[in-house]
């Protein structure tokens, strides 16, 4: 077939179907544009109904805030009157306090002591009968007895000591909703109305003062009764044939009605169809011109192959364009496919190189962060171990002195020393933030209770102007953590959030259960969670200044801080990251400059039952202990103090200064009821090693291990753990129970 013949067939094949398609497209566009316009109006009506609901919720929020006023709870109406006057949203708004019988106790439009109206002017009493007294109620439009204006009322119950004591309402002038309507800037042809349950107009975009309080048409009321939203046709109050779109305001059951003239609704689709017809006509003319152009230039396919060959030589991808010539099209397809394969190979290679570089950088950063935390953990862990031995000696000595002292002044000094030691114990516990988690300090806790207790501590470090919110799902899964480190992590995150909000803001702490897919990547790092599973997600979110990407990349590094010298150590986020890692979880960090920072702690779900709350206190004198105890401790001061305490309780105490000596005594036939050993000791045999050997050679012998800090994990089954400094009474009770069970 000749090229000229092919061009003629191509022109006919384009023009005939195109004319047919253009005619169908114009009609289709008209219908679709009409449908799209109606859907758009429906969405607008729904959105405006939600805005009206939000406006009512704002007033409800003011009433809720007033309802929780301490002055109202204690019946101080004068002080509450002053608060209500200040919190009233507008000078025209009135806040009224009712008793349960509907009598007014306080009215912000009347000075205290002025006689108040004896009955309600609104239909709130009827709504309470219908919907109950416990929920927020919004009345229909009514004429206020004072001023004769059209108002509506928002009422909330006031609960004191778990019972409804009062009702607090806000009378609002209906004209205040005009501002909300004006802000939306509806088209001038639209008539938008807010209508109460009885069909009366509360606000209107046109002639509001003229129509406010009038009832809508019967046709509108009939359609309102059919559902929460809909569309109908009829004449509006101005007598214009229009199409009405309505939607229900959720809580108040008011309605929003938008009336649009039929002519206006038809205008936009007609314009769109006419516009499309013009475009299609222009395209048809263009197609004819292009066909004539290519008819004069039959050499175009050859030139196309030349350009394709040039693009292929320079490594650019070729876009295949059929030329309607079999030989040329075959060559062009092969060249286009070759160019795609070359380009795909280049893209894959570049992507792999970029991924390899990014993975290497991420691995280097994670390795460096881990090395820093490990070095810091070893340093602080060693300090914690030594301090805990000293605190153990002081704790035991003070408890023994407390039991023997009868002088009140001396007893007071001992109690003061005990409190000081307790504070030192808490501070020493913080030194373990960057090392391995201590088994003796692990507890299975309820995350909600742990967060609720932490919030009390966090409130003390926040400045005025920062709103603290706690939102937890019901039935949170238990987690196994070090409670002290958990509290410290939350406190560090709260302090960082506080410093990021110098002008105030919002700090939101939440928790929920979540299930993670295996190998799901989360920003921020962490060693746990790679295999997926059940986690409790604790979120700490602020509205502060946020972090730039370069700061976010180093935020988890120990000692990195952007704060001024003396105002930050750079260990806050690092401690939270270390806590998540210790707990086999993940810390995810995200931040946007100017919008705030979000920290997510993923803590693995625990299958263990909740741990009992540890009870501390010296009660050695109340126990009558007996039995033989092998006490293994390398620290002389701890050994002397604890051995004396055990002997005073009634135990026969046999002492060994290290694991080798203790093992020699056991192998020599020593008969004991229970073994009590420190974990970290000089020599080749640690406390954990000694416990394992005793489990093999003396299976029924109870073993208790104590630790101030150790990098080893106690994996011997059935071995009890105590964290230094422990209470001597707690130790005596534990050893006595184990000795009696042996």
What digits encode the pLDDT tens for the residues 426-444? 555 555 555 554 554 678 9
For 723, half-sphere exposure in the C-beta direction (CA atoms, 13 angstrom radius) is 18
Question: Which tokens hold the place of 126?
Answer: 């009827």
- 150 neighbors 171 (Cβ within 8 angstroms): no
Element (H, E) at 369: helix 326-404
Q: What is the mean pLDDT of residues 5-18?
A: 67
Q: Does the pLDDT of residue 506 top 90, yes or no?
A: yes
The predicted structure's pLDDT at residue 38: 87
- DSSP H helix total and E strand total for the chain: 19, 23
The predicted structure's pLDDT at residue 617: 44
* Continuous H helices in 500-548: none
Q: Does the pLDDT of residue 531 top 90, yes or no?
A: no
pTM of the model: 0.39
Q: Give the whole-angstrom CA distance, residue 317 versus residue 308.
A: 9
Q: Give the whole-angstrom CA distance, residue 638 versus residue 567.
A: 38
Tell me: do 624 and 538 sit in the same domain.
Answer: no
Between 332 and 644, the more confident residue is 644
The predicted structure's pLDDT at residue 361: 67
Strand order in the sheet with 229-235: 201-204, 191-195, 255-261, 241-248, 229-235
Q: Can you tell me whether residue 549 is helix, strand or coil?
A: helix
590 — phi, psi (to 5°)?
A: -140, 145
Element (H, E) at 177: helix 177-184
Between 342 and 597, the more confident residue is 597
- Residue among 170, 141, 168 at smallest CA distance from 154: 170
Q: Give the whole-angstrom CA distance, residue 489 versus residue 163.
A: 38
- Residue among 247, 60, 245, 248 at smallest CA distance from 158: 60
The predicted structure's pLDDT at residue 526: 45
Considering only 74-78, 580-584, 666-670, 713-717, which range has the smallest mean pLDDT? 713-717
The predicted structure's pLDDT at residue 427: 53
Q: Does the pLDDT of residue 2 top 90, yes or no?
A: no
Q: What is the mean pLDDT of residues 522-531?
A: 48
Exposure string of 222-260, with b = 16+ CB inside 10 Å and e = fewer, is ebbeeeebeebebebbeebebbbbbbbbebbebbbbbbb
Q: Can you tell me whether residue 691 is helix, strand or coil?
A: helix
Q: Give the whole-angstrom CA distance, residue 439 versus residue 147.
A: 73
Q: Does the pLDDT of residue 578 top 90, yes or no?
A: no
The predicted structure's pLDDT at residue 166: 93
The count of domains in the chain is: 3
Which residue segment(s) compose the domain that 126 sits in? 26-278
CATH number, domain containing residue 468? 3.30.565.10
* Domain termination site, one of 237, 262, 278: 278
The predicted structure's pLDDT at residue 583: 87
The predicted structure's pLDDT at residue 350: 80
Tens digits of per-residue pLDDT, 295-312? Answer: 555 566 766 667 777 776
In a domain, 328, yes or no: no
Tell me: do 705 and 557 sit in the same domain.
Answer: no
Tell me: do 581 and 464 sit in the same domain.
Answer: yes
Tell me: do 202 and 56 sit in the same domain.
Answer: yes
The predicted structure's pLDDT at residue 176: 87
Considering only 55-64, 86-95, 442-451, which range has the smallest mean pLDDT? 86-95
Tell me: do 469 and 516 sit in the same domain.
Answer: yes
Q: What is the mean pLDDT of residues 546-571?
A: 75
Q: What is the mean pLDDT of residues 664-677?
A: 89
Q: Give the whole-angstrom CA distance, residue 511 versus residue 470.
A: 9
Q: C-alpha 582: how far from its chain's center?
A: 22
Q: Can you tell me whether residue 150 is helix, strand or coil?
A: strand
Q: Does the pLDDT of residue 535 top 90, yes or no?
A: yes
* Domain termination site, one of 221, 251, 278: 278
Q: What is the mean pLDDT of residues 66-76?
A: 89
The predicted structure's pLDDT at residue 596: 94
CATH number, domain containing residue 700? 3.40.50.2300
Tell me: do 222 and 180 sit in the same domain.
Answer: yes
The predicted structure's pLDDT at residue 277: 75
Q: Does the pLDDT of residue 22 top 50, yes or no?
A: yes
- 215 neighbors 198 (Cβ within 8 angstroms): yes
The predicted structure's pLDDT at residue 484: 83
Given the structure tokens 């690092």, which residue do they identify?
A: 574
Q: Give the whole-angstrom CA distance, residue 251 versus residue 566.
A: 52
Tell me: do 562 and 628 sit in the same domain.
Answer: no
Q: What percent of the chain has pLDDT over 70?
A: 77
Tens digits of per-residue pLDDT, 478-490? Answer: 999 988 889 888 9
If 0-12 CB within 10 Å is exposed, 13-18 middle and 19+ buried, where does residue 514 land? middle
The predicted structure's pLDDT at residue 512: 96
In a domain, 358, yes or no: no
Length of the chain as a residue count = 742
- 732 neighbors 625 (Cβ within 8 angstroms): yes
Between 639 and 319, the more confident residue is 639
In a domain, 241, yes or no: yes
In a domain, 397, yes or no: no
Tens digits of per-residue pLDDT, 364-381? Answer: 665 565 566 555 555 555
DSSP-assigned beta bridge partners for residue 470 = 509
Tell me: do 158 and 216 sit in the same domain.
Answer: yes
Would you place residue 621 in the very low, low, confident or very high pLDDT band (cuts 50, 70, 90)? very low
* Domain termination site, one of 219, 244, 278: 278
Q: Give the whole-angstrom CA distance, residue 526 versus residue 580.
A: 7
The predicted structure's pLDDT at residue 18: 72
The predicted structure's pLDDT at residue 446: 93
In a domain, 559, yes or no: yes
Tell me: do 599 and 637 sit in the same domain.
Answer: no
Tell me: do 686 and 586 sit in the same domain.
Answer: no
Q: Does the pLDDT of residue 334 top 50, yes or no?
A: yes
Q: Give the whole-angstrom CA distance, residue 716 versus residue 507.
A: 43
Q: Angle, nearest 10°, between helix axes 728-741 and 636-649?
A: 60
Q: Does the pLDDT of residue 655 top 80, yes or no?
A: yes
In a domain, 409, yes or no: no
Would you place residue 294 in the very low, low, confident or very high pLDDT band (cuts 50, 70, 90)? low
Q: What percent of the chain has pLDDT over 90?
A: 24
The predicted structure's pLDDT at residue 522: 47
The predicted structure's pLDDT at residue 551: 86
Average pLDDT, the chain: 80
Tell me: do 31 and 77 sit in the same domain.
Answer: yes
Would you place residue 281 in the very low, low, confident or very high pLDDT band (cuts 50, 70, 90)? confident
The predicted structure's pLDDT at residue 725: 78
Q: Can you tell me whether residue 506 is helix, strand or coil?
A: strand
Tens digits of per-residue pLDDT, 367-423? Answer: 565 566 555 555 555 565 555 666 556 666 666 666 665 566 556 666 667 666 665
Q: What is the mean pLDDT of residues 600-606?
A: 94
CATH number, domain containing residue 30? 3.30.450.20
Considering only 89-98, 107-116, 188-197, 399-408, which range has the smallest mean pLDDT? 399-408
The predicted structure's pLDDT at residue 620: 40
């Amino acid at each position: 077939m000749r090229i000229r013949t092919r061009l003629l067939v191509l022109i006919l094949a384009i023009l005939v179907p195109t004319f047919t398609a253009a005619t169908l497209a114009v009609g289709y566009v008209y219908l679709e544009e009409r449908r799209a316009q109606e859907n758009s109006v429906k969405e607008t009506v729904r959105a405006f109904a939600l805005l009206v609901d939000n406006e009512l919720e704002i007033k409800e929020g003011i009433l809720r805030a007033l309802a929780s006023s301490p002055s109202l709870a204690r019946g101080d109406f004068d002080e509450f009157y002053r608060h209500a006057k200040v919190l009233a949203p507008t000078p025209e708004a009135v806040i009224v306090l009712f008793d349960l019988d509907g009598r007014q106790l306080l009215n912000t439009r009347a000075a205290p002591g002025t006689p108040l109206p004896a009955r309600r002017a609104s239909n709130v009493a009827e709504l309470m009968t219908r919907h109950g007294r416990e929920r927020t109620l919004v009345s229909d439009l009514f004429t206020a007895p004072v001023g004769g204006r059209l108002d509506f009322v928002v009422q909330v119950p006031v609960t004191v000591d778990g019972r409804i004591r009062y009702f607090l309402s806000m009378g609002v002038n209906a004209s205040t909703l005009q501002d909300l309507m004006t802000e939306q800037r509806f088209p001038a042809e639209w008539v938008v109305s807010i209508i109460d349950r009885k069909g009366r107009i509360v606000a209107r975009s046109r002639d509001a003062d003229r129509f406010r309080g009038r009832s809508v048409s019967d046709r509108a009321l009939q359609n309102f009764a059919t559902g929460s939203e809909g569309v109908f046709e009829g004449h509006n109050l101005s007598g214009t044939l229009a199409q009405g779109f309505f939607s229900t305001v959720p809580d108040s059951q008011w309605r929003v009605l938008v009336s649009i003239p039929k002519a206006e609704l038809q205008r936009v689709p007609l314009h769109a169809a006419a516009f499309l017809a013009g475009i299609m006509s222009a395209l048809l003319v263009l197609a004819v011109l292009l066909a004539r152009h290519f008819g004069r230039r039959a050499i175009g396919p050859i030139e196309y192959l030349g350009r394709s060959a040039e693009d292929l030589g320079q490594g650019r991808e070729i876009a295949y364009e059929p030329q309607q010539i079999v030989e040329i099209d075959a060559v062009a397809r092969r060249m286009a496919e070759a160019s795609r394969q070359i380009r795909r190979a280049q893209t894959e290679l570049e992507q792999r190189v970029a991924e390899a570089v990014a993975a290497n950088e991420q691995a280097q950063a994670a390795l460096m962060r881990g090395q820093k935390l490990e070095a810091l953990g070893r340093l602080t862990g060693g300090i914690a171990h030594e301090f805990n031995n000293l605190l153990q000696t002081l704790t035991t000595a003070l408890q023994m002195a407390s039991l023997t002292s009868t002088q009140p002044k001396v007893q007071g000094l001992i109690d003061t020393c005990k409190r000081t030691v307790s504070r030192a114990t808490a501070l020493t516990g913080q030194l373990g933030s960057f090392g391995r988690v201590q088994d003796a300090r692990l507890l299975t806790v309820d995350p909600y209770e742990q967060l609720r207790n932490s919030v009390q501590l966090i409130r003390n470090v926040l400045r005025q102007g920062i709103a603290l919110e706690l939102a937890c799902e019901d039935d949170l899964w238990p987690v196994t953590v070090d409670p002290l480190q958990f509290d410290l992590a939350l406190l560090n995150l709260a302090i960082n959030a506080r410093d990021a909000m110098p002008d105030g803001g919002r700090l939101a702490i939440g928790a929920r259960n979540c299930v993670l897919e295996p190998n799901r990547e989360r920003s921020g790092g962490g060693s746990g969670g790679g295999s997926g599973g059940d986690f409790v997600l604790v979120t700490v979110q602020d509205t502060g200044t946020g972090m730039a990407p370069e700061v976010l990349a180093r935020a988890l590094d120990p000692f990195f801080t952007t704060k001024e010298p003396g105002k930050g150590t750079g260990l806050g986020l690092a401690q939270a990251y270390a806590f998540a890692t210790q707990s086999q979880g993940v810390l995810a960090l995200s931040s946007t400059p100017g919008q705030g920072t979000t920290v997510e702690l993923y803590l693995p779900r625990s299958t263990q039952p909740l741990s009992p709350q540890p009870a501390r206190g010296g009660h050695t004198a109340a126990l009558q202990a007996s039995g033989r105890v092998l006490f293994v401790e390398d620290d002389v001061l701890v050994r002397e103090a604890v051995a004396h305490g055990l002997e005073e309780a009634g135990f026969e105490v046999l002492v060994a200064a290290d694991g080798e000596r203790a093992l020699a005594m056991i192998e020599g036939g020593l008969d004991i009821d229970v073994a009590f050993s420190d974990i970290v000791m000089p020599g080749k045999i640690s406390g954990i090693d000694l416990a394992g050997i005793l489990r093999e050679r003396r299976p029924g012998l109870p073993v208790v291990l104590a630790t101030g800090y150790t990098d080893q994990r106690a994996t011997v089954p059935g071995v009890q753990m105590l964290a230094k400094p422990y209470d001597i009474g707690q130790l005596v009770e534990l050893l006595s129970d184990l000795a009696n069970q042996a």
